[in-house]
Amino acid sequence: MKNNHVGRWIIILTLVALFWIPLMGSPQKRPVQLTYDGLVQKIDGGGAVRAVVSADGQTVTITGTDHERYTAHIGPQAPRIQELLDKKKVPVEYRSPAQDMGILGIIQILMTLFLPLFLIFAFIGLFRAGRGGGGGQSPFSWGRSNARVVVQGTGVTFSDVAGADEAKVELEEVVTALKDPSRFTSVGALIPRGVLLVGPPGTGKTLLARAVAGEAGVPFFSMAGTQFVEMFVGVGAARVRDLFRKAKEAAPCIIFIDEIDSVGRQRGNGLGNGNDEHEQTLNQLLTELDGFAGNTGVILIGATNRPDVLDAALLRPGRFDRQVVIDLPDINGRSAILAVHAKGKPLANDVDLQRIARRTPGFSGADLANVLNEAAILAAREGVAQVSIANINAAIERVVAGAEKKGRVIGTEQRRLVAYHEAGHALIGLLCQGYDSVEKVSIVPRGMAAGLTWFAPDENALGLRSKGYYLQEIRVALGGRAAEYLVFGSDGFTNGASNDLQRVAEVVHRMCTEWGMGDVLGHAALRQSQGGIFLGRRIGSGEMNCSPELAARLDDEERELVDAAFEKTCGLLEQHRDALDALAAMLIERETVDRDELLALADQFHIRSSREG
Ligand code: ADP
Ligand code: ZN
């Protein structure tokens, strides 16, 4: 990279030098300056072989018999010089203004026009290179795609991708099409052109695309959608063109565009000047997709987690005609992914991957890979030869909540407050039946949080949640604030609950406006307004599409729901104040309380979870 920059600057300096050198020393010697009288004498004495009159008629330059050139300003005496030249039969040339300016003049004009532009481009190039984000391109390569290319085989195969079996079956077909296109063409079928991988980040979309290239043994061109989006109109389109040109030369091959939604967002979202550029880029992409007829052997794989914001034109048959959905892995998927990444890591006997999989609902493949890697790092730090279950548990918590900040000193009062806050969450969690089970409470600060209460969601819920579940979620989230309120008084509670309160606001809002769980709308949802330009069509947080009166009634309803939940939560904590105090004391003493201890505490204080609370 460094060398490249040096190379670029040499080019720029050379160009500047080429422009400037003619200005500094003229290749033709400057004529000798004479006075008017001196010039007349020279001509009169027969010392001139030819003469040149400038366009404005004010200057005469003669070439003498000695091959020297002489020039003089003649001003109003021009007619007399003319006469004299005629008399001496000296051939006279009259210059046109352009000639008069000469090469130097033209260069000068070019320089004044282009040098500033040139410098601006050079500086932008330098700036972008310095920023590193733009991949360090010089202004000369703006239209180039700078895709990352793996020329022969990515070395990744389907066996490196765990779980995602349905996706593999679909992609198997793409591999066949790349390896043996005649299988398709002989029966008149069109070779797939575009495959859209849809799924949350870290679920292995890139990995799958690489595996397709690896299985088929073809080159792999990869680029992020954001790399097409530039501030200058036309650059993105040029990059798309360049990428496809290179790919066609290397066909059969795979083009992979990550985050394709940043190029393929719906057109006409009316966003100032970036819009033109965006449309041009998208149009170019569509053109290229249509352009490679069924047999060029270039297959485009796009990845996104926002298929809803994609322009409909992209999804039309013949473009991204296949969509493959990749979800977060289920327990078996997680166990398989863990097995893939456990290769090469010596695990202690107490490590059971299936159990780890059970403990990590909601983790993506990337998260799981990260867990095992962190665990190995922790083991290495301890200087032990095997990765223990303790290492893995610590790594899971790290991945979920960031590293523990053991070194941070917290005042006793602060500790007491955090302990009561977390104890409030945990106790309400214990009291709410049907809500996720409390796994662990801790007042060790991590990341941004002063303390944390872990809940394990029910794996079998399939994303379907009842109204009762959400009401309990609201109470559990309010538990921290309620405990602070109860123990430290109506002036003593802190801003520590702000994340909790945001979650509450979101759940309540969606209950009342989206999920038909409120009384104002009944079993109905508000139509979502199609706002949100950059975020695409947002869900749940868009402006409301209703009359101000209805909006006010909904606001009131949401407010009442939260108030009622807060009161209920405070009541529950008051009722179980002895358990709250005991749990807070345990936390202050031990910092972390796990599930078994929590259940023992529940027994001791006769806490019975009930649906009603
Ligand atoms: P995406 O493109 O969906 O954001 P990636 O393909 O970049 O996700 O995944 C990041 C990393 O996570 C991969 O390099 C791999 O190590 C790991 N990973 C994700 N999903 C899987 C999987 N199904 N099997 C094995 N490893 C996976
Ligand atoms: Zn909290």
Q: What is the pLDDT of residue 472?
A: 93
- Residues around ion ligand 2, judged by CB within 5 A, are 480, 500
> Mind listing the pLDDT tens digit for each residue in 155-208?
888 988 998 888 888 898 888 888 887 777 778 777 778 899 998 888 999 999
Phi/psi of residue 194, nearest 5 degrees: -135, 135
Any atom of ligand 1 within 6 Å of the Cβ of 161: yes
Is 302 a pocket residue for ligand 1 (Cβ < 6 Å)? Answer: no
Of residues 410 and 547, more confidence is placed in 547
Tell me the pLDDT tens digit for each residue of 499-533: 899 999 999 999 999 899 999 999 988 876 544 33
What is the rounded average pLDDT of the residues 41-64?
Answer: 80
Do 482 and 513 form a contact (C-beta atoms < 8 A)?
Answer: no
Mean pLDDT confidence for 124-147: 51
CB 579 within 8 A of CB 427: yes
The ligand that comes nearest to the alpha carbon of residue 363 is: 1
Residue 52 banded pLDDT, cuts 50, 70, 90? confident
- Please work out whether the CB of residue 304 comes within 6 Å of at least one atom of ligand 1: no
pLDDT at 23 over 60: no
| Closest C-alpha residue for ligand 1 atom 11 | 366
Q: What is the pLDDT of residue 486?
A: 95
Residue nearest to atom 18 of ligand 1 (CA): 365
Q: Give yes or no for residue 324 CB within 6 A of ligand 1.
A: no
Spacing, Cα 357 to ligand 2 middle (Å)? 26
Query: What is the strand order of the sheet 298-304 is part of?
Result: 148-150, 220-224, 253-258, 298-304, 194-198, 322-325
Higher-pLDDT residue of 501, 400: 501
Which one is predicted more confidently, 291 or 393? Answer: 393
Pair 484, 498: CB distance under 8 Å = no
Q: Is 303 helix (H, G, I), strand (E, B) or coil?
A: strand
Asked if pLDDT for residue 96 goes beyond 70, the answer is no
Please name which ligand lies nearest the alpha carbon of 304: 1
Strand order in 437-442's β-sheet? 452-456, 437-442, 592-594
Written as six digits, the tokens of 15 are: 């160009």
Q: What is the pLDDT of residue 435?
A: 85
308-364 confidence digits (pLDDT tens): 788 888 887 778 878 888 888 888 889 999 999 998 889 888 888 988 888 787 788
Average pLDDT over residues 381-390: 90
Q: In 3D, which of 207, 184, 183 has the Cα closest to residue 197? A: 207
Closest ligand 1 atom number to CA of residue 197: 3
Nearest Cα neighbor of 146 from 230, 210, 224, 212 is: 224
Atom of ligand 1 nearest to the CA of 340: 25
- Residues carrying an active site annotation: 422
The average confidence (pLDDT) of the chain is: 79
CA distance 139 to 239: 13
Contact between 580 and 591 (Cβ < 8 Å) = no
Q: What 8-state DSSP symbol labels residue 487?
A: H
Kindly state the DSSP code that residue 212 receives in the 8-state scheme: H
Pocket test for ligand 1, best of 207, 372, 374 (most atoms within 8 A of CB): 207
> Within 13 Å and on the Cβ side, how many CA atoms surround 316?
8
State the ligand closest to the CA atom of 205.
1
- Which of 441-455, 579-593, 594-608 has the weakest average pLDDT? 441-455
Kindly give the interhelix angle for 412-431 and 467-488, rounded to the nearest 10 degrees.
150
Q: Beta strand 148-150 with 220-224: parallel, antiparallel or unpaired? A: antiparallel
pLDDT over 90 at 553, yes or no: yes
Listed in sequence order, the residues at least 6 apart from 558 whose beta carbon sits closer than 8 Å to its beta carbon are 505, 508, 509, 512, 518
Each residue of 268-302: pLDDT tens digit? 554 444 567 778 888 888 888 777 655 567 888 99
* pLDDT over 90 at 66, yes or no: no
Overall average pLDDT of the 207-212 stretch: 92
207 lines ligand 1 (CB under 6 A): yes
Confidence at residue 136, expressed as pLDDT on a 0 to 100 scale: 41
Q: Which residue has the higher pLDDT, 599 or 232?
A: 599
224 CA to centre of ligand 2 in angstroms? 37
